Amino acid sequence: MCATLETISRMAGSDKRKQSLYFPEDMLKEIQDEATRQDRSLSWIVQKAWKIARKEIMKYPSVNEFPGEEDEKEIA
């Protein structure tokens, strides 16, 4: 079962958009516990986590870039 974390993200300056993110319950609990420990919002914790992990995550290939797998369009 997944729980949701609703956030308001800043897009293009002051434009704010509400976005629902889905996390496994245990992960959300960890995020909530860390937010409480740091006396910060859930949004702040997730934003900081993204900034820290972003460069590493961007190294992952897209779903169409896995080596050795043929693109279905090329097969047809």
Whether residue 1 is predicted with pLDDT greater than 60 in this model: the reply is: no
- Per-residue confidence at 3, pLDDT binned at 50, 70, 90? low
H/E element holding 5?
A: strand 2-11
Please write the tens of the pLDDT for every residue from 20-58.
Answer: 889 999 999 999 999 999 999 999 999 999 999 999 999
More confident residue, 58 or 16: 58
Question: What is the reported pLDDT for 18?
Answer: 82
- Domains of the chain by residue range: 2-61
- What DSSP string runs through 16-43? EEEEEEEEEHHHHHHHHHHHHHHT--HH
